[in-house]
Amino acid sequence: MLPVLEVAIGDQVFMKVIPVDLAAWKKAGHKTLLNPLKERLEAIRSEGVPAVVIWEDYWLSRRSVVQSRLAAMLGKSAKIPARLTLVRRIDNATTMGFLEANHLNGGTMSKFRYGLFLPKRYYRVLPTDFAFDASADELLVAVATFSNARIFEQNGSPFRSHELIRFASLLGTNVVGALDKLLNAFIREKSPGDIMTYADLEWSDGRSYKRLGFEERGNMPPREAYVDVTHMRRVRTLEKAGHTAGQLPVEYLTVYNLGSIKYVRDIKINENES
């Protein structure tokens, strides 16, 4: 039986966490634990209890990000109304730096990058013990990145489809309405036909995307990745880790995520014109 940790006060359970130990994963043999892990997660969520899967390597190497996401889910983060922020395009260096510090999977290449900035006059909404540079004129509190367009022909006209690649809020914060505001800025500027994205099953059942007008369009199967067990660093391919394809280096362990749900938001003409 897979272990389950509960976050509770008295008899009320607010969340359940399924930890994945890499030694147990290795002993079980790669994919053996995948189905039981997914079934256990789905069973908990079917009871109406939020549940997440936390891998050992993420806990050891990205603990601050994991703790921030858990705090946001539990309503324990500093709340920042997105209506107080300003949205604008940001450069690649700013984007990568923010995502490396605030997204579980770090940064990745993207074509279009948008940030939400909290002006100094609204720093008063932050808790008095919140650590940040209070002398700065603004604070970057959320980032969303998008792919270049894939262009198809639809009804005799070009149809532009983009992917929402990354979204992250500043550690310790919950920027209420952030993704909606960032999406709307992108829609106004680029006029996409649709926007697609993926909900990571280990952390989400996708309901937040549904609230933003996305529709479920199928499931993506588990994907493999490689964990450097010495430094607890995860990479998608061995080539990115500096190894040639083929034989797996001794210090790397093959892992699989639980897959994801594909979501698509069809952009209506009046959205692009608003």
Fold of 79-222+257-273: Aminopeptidase (3.40.630)
Residue 205 sits at φ, ψ, to 5 deg, of -100, 5
Contact between 184 and 252 under an 8 Å Cβ cutoff? The reply is no
Q: What is the pLDDT of residues 243-257, one digit of tens each?
A: 655 555 568 898 999
Residue type, 99: L
- By C-alpha distance, which of 152, 149, 151, 144 is closest to 162? 149
pLDDT-derived band at 236, boundaries 50, 70, 90? confident
Residue type, 189: E
Boundaries of every domain in the chain: 79-222+257-273
pLDDT-derived band at 27, boundaries 50, 70, 90? confident
Greater model confidence, 170 or 239:
170
Q: Tokens for 187?
A: 């829609």
Q: What is the pTM of this model?
A: 0.91
pLDDT at 140 over 60: yes
